[in-house]
């Protein structure tokens, strides 16, 4: 069964992990689609690639920890 996903995301787009106190930007390098319509983002972050759930990231920097 084919899967089709529509998104306004762009490869290379910058995201911030909400719980990161330093708010270091991560670049979108992949998307993982899991059963139950769950998305995880693969972010290149300080030379490593991390998988985080879509609700754990933001396009906006969180300055509340500064």
Residues 6+ apart with CB under 8 A from 38: 53
Weakly modelled stretches of the chain, pLDDT under 50: none
Domain ranges (residues) in the chain? 14-61
| Integer Cα distance of 52 and 20 in angstroms | 12
Q: What's this model's pTM, rounded to 2 decimal places? A: 0.80
Q: What is the predicted pLDDT for the residue at 60?
A: 93
Residues 6+ apart with CB under 8 A from 48: none
Q: What is the predicted pLDDT for the residue at 40?
A: 93
Q: What is the predicted pLDDT for the residue at 62?
A: 86
Span 6-21, pLDDT tens digits = 777 889 999 999 999 9
Write the CA distances from 39 to 31, 47, 56, integer angstroms.
7, 22, 11
């Amino acid at each position: 069964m084919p899967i089709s996903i529509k998104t306004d995301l762009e490869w290379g787009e910058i995201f911030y992990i909400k719980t990161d106190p330093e708010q270091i930007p991560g670049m979108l390098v992949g998307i993982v689609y899991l059963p139950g319509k769950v998305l995880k983002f693969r972010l290149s972050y300080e030379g490593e690639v991390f998988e985080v759930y879509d609700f754990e990231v933001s396009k906006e920097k969180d300055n509340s920890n500064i």
